[in-house]
Structure 1
């Protein structure tokens, strides 16, 4: 798998850049008729995992800070204090369309219009599932976004795509998942090992598709509870992930170029200003995962820390502080008194990047049982399975002798059994924990459920009146390169502000 990643990089090196608008974003870098779809799929998956640019800005600076997985006293990490930085806020939009949408739309078009009928039906089904995954992250960050006309500049000459209402985007994404999963067969797809998620395993792609259907179906809970139940039931009946073997993740390497490396890991290699939030550290009290997630830096702040990961010594940094106000809390005179993401275990550039995990699915099944009793009627069993899967999932990192033991897992479940009276909060708090470093998803699920309960900060000059933001603001250049469609979107959805709620996030 790692050799394939390196080989594909040679083909695609230099194909993307920080382009100025959709006209440039949609210039096809390859000429589709000259490349097989397999190498393109490899590239699309790597681009979907993201490079340092968009992960630093959209996933970490904003989502992880707002959702209180991490904290910072530095001005760069604007999301900690709900400050607006145009480049940071628009980064996932910019790179999403440039590096992800453009490529996946090219693949889908090539497979749909194959004149020689040389590509199998399941190849198109796999590409459609990946396309849904790409778009759902973009729309969940921004709301109404280009969808039906997006990525079609080279194909149709439309360089200024309309923004679709999120309600229509969600309806189409769910329909795409229904059709794509139904089109998958058995055995290995024609993509073969070019598929660096599942090595062409159609059964795994089907379970991924239905698991995505479950995620998107539950996203409707506040705006269409009946539809949410129907889509959740359809996903469960179709067959969601069954074990950690079904988890969807990219196995990264440490080079030779950026897209082979874990985008989050590239950030941690370059920056040491972030710390773990005290909200996250406190939630992990008594949890054996704390020693894997957290470590105190060396006294000199060495990025390649050999500092302690003793759970008893970990201490989180409160959100919303700066270099002056941090001095008002005990230990605030030295930022190295506060825990950071464990650089020895989970933040290296060759660590996995998760798309969706089996643990997440089990927590969603627990919620489906709490709400409707449609996943077997035993939310406690799904909660326990989710906790076990979340702790075993950490073995995919290079954790060595720090791996959580089966005894520790059982001890945790004994001390923290399923609590029916607070079931929704309990399972969604666990969902928040297991999606650490996948913070765009953490942010979306928090807005959907309200869990965990977070206390917002009110830093001077913040953009949301001291409220945790409900979305990110669009890529600012859209105001000049696609002005009519941009204006139509904000006229329909509401002002392009952090506090504007998107379609599925009603009060």
Structure 2
């Protein structure tokens, strides 16, 4: 049964008095001076999953289209053709700092400065892990970003934070994960039910923290292979996710507030212009998940009018087409001939939103074994475990009779065994599949590995010289509200363009 999560929005008013000595007379002894960290942490997790605004723009319009999970012919979906739209590109930055960073920094400050020592160190450790998760998505999308001074405007009065170099951000995030996971034990933290990821389960948070360390450690592979291996080894030694029971996800509902709903699901409820890319559909050929991921749109189409998810009928839309050029391909006379994400199964507003999954972890362990042999020395076993977990993960969408069977999983692995000669491509292509709808992560891992191999489009007037972008451009308002620090970041990192690579994404 779905849990109903209610978010209470609190408005804080700053009150000052010029009559010294009257402060105590003006205090209400029955009123709380600060909200307990539990409700704030619930809100922080929901905000981290994101609302419709930022998911539509940063996760779907840009990341999913550039990484060729989805395609479109309409101009709104600018990422399909590498067009720049200031509001779309800056949306995750805008909402990330206003809705995510601000809340988690407030929670961490409250727990660090707890004058009565009423909150446990485990609560602080959990909040620090969540803070790393928030920041790593921001820096992976944009590169150098506000970090050391971010989100502290109402704490120390600094409303124009510096942009920290990504190399320093990564060093600190990994250190934060190492320190935070070392604190956690086997009990339930004081967050309890307010922790809607793991119910305060410290062991699960520890495994999530180490799994996130594994992800960030592998991000360093092109820029510092030695450090990459060291952090990956440390994550493995600390204990990463062990099964689908450890998946970090938000169990959304269909209300009562908008933020309780899956942000991606809200997009699909409002927009039907996107289709699945033929790159994605082709990669799922022979994969039993195709019937769960894809369906033909309901309506007037040439092949079916019932929203069929029959795998034999699915057809992806090539990226880089518009309303005119689509007419030159088979079926292009009717957009409903092309498959869309399955609205009946995976894009509902009460669908789960995944932060990190066990399947992803197994594919990363397979990569660690391919590169260094440090995860047991058996990449094939990790590949198979990842595939099984990814297919079983589909049950979390309430797929009912469409569930992938154990026999289908076995048949798929028989037909697609681990191929040592192409191991990195194989495991990272599976990683790309399992992170569908978590496309900010898909985009980051593709830039890190180059897999799957994607053919870019070169639509007239694109912003990246016909190459898949390497980052998003900053929130445009930063140029006027924080100009000095914005300009310093651009001077250090490179032009604020799609083609500028972030620190860990070297050629």
| Larger radius of gyration between Structure 1 and Structure 2 | 2
Q: Residue 32 and residue 277 in structure 1: after superposition, are their counterparts in 2 closer, same or farther (change >3 A)?
A: farther
Match of 1:133 in 2: 133
The 2-side partners of 1:501 and 1:487 are apart by 17
Q: Residue 39 and residue 322 in structure 1: after superposition, are their counterparts in 2 closer, same or farther (change >3 A)?
A: same
The 1-side partners of 2:470 and 2:260 are apart by 32
Equivalent pair of 1:254/1:350 in contact (CA under 8 Å): yes
Matched, 1:219 2:216: no
| Structure 1 ranges of 4+ moved more than 3 A | 1-4
Give TM-score, length-normalised by structure 1.
Answer: 0.95
After TM superposition, list the pairs within 5 Å mapping 1:275-286 onto structure 2.
275-286=275-286
The 2-side partners of 1:416 and 1:218 are apart by 25
Q: Residue 440 and residue 89 in structure 1: after superposition, are their counterparts in 2 closer, same or farther (change >3 A)?
A: same
Deviation at 1:306, TM superposition (A): 4.4
SS of structure 1 residue aligned to 2:5: helix
The unaligned stretches of length 5 or more in structure 1 are 16-30
Match of 1:180 in 2: 180
The 1-side partners of 2:456 and 2:117 are apart by 55
Deviation at 1:299, TM superposition (A): 2.5
Match of 1:26 in 2: none
Matched, 1:119 2:119: yes
| 1:54-80 Cα shifts (integer Å, max 9, x gaps) | 000000000000000000000000000
The 1-side partners of 2:32 and 2:206 are apart by 26
After TM superposition, list the pairs within 5 Å mapping 1:25-424 onto structure 2.
33-300=33-300, 306-424=306-424
Match of 1:475 in 2: 475
| 1:243-268 Cα shifts (integer Å, max 9, x gaps) | 00000000000011110000000000
Give TM-score, length-normalised by structure 2.
Answer: 0.95
Q: Residue 186 and residue 33 in structure 1: after superposition, are their counterparts in 2 closer, same or farther (change >3 A)?
A: farther
After TM superposition, list the pairs within 5 Å mapping 1:450-465 onto structure 2.
450-465=450-465
Equivalent pair of 1:252/1:350 in contact (CA under 8 Å): yes
SS of structure 2 residue aligned to 1:354: strand
After TM superposition, list the pairs within 5 Å mapping 1:417-436 onto structure 2.
417-436=417-436
The 2-side partners of 1:141 and 1:32 are apart by 38
SS of structure 2 residue aligned to 1:46: helix
Matched, 1:12 2:9: yes
Deviation at 1:330, TM superposition (A): 0.9
Equivalent pair of 2:4/2:253 in contact (CA under 8 Å): no
Deviation at 1:300, TM superposition (A): 3.7
SS of structure 2 residue aligned to 1:355: strand
Equivalent pair of 2:345/2:399 in contact (CA under 8 Å): yes
Two-structure CA RMSD over aligned residues (Å) = 1.3
May I ask how many residue pairs the two structures share in their alignment?
486
The 2-side partners of 1:388 and 1:138 are apart by 30
Equivalent pair of 2:360/2:431 in contact (CA under 8 Å): yes
Q: Residue 32 and residue 408 in structure 1: after superposition, are their counterparts in 2 closer, same or farther (change >3 A)?
A: farther
The 2-side partners of 1:14 and 1:359 are apart by 40
The 2-side partners of 1:328 and 1:193 are apart by 55
| 1:301-331 Cα shifts (integer Å, max 9, x gaps) | 8xxx941000000000000000010001011
Deviation at 1:34, TM superposition (A): 1.8
| 1:198-238 Cα shifts (integer Å, max 9, x gaps) | 00100000000000000000000000000000000000000
Equivalent pair of 1:262/1:353 in contact (CA under 8 Å): yes
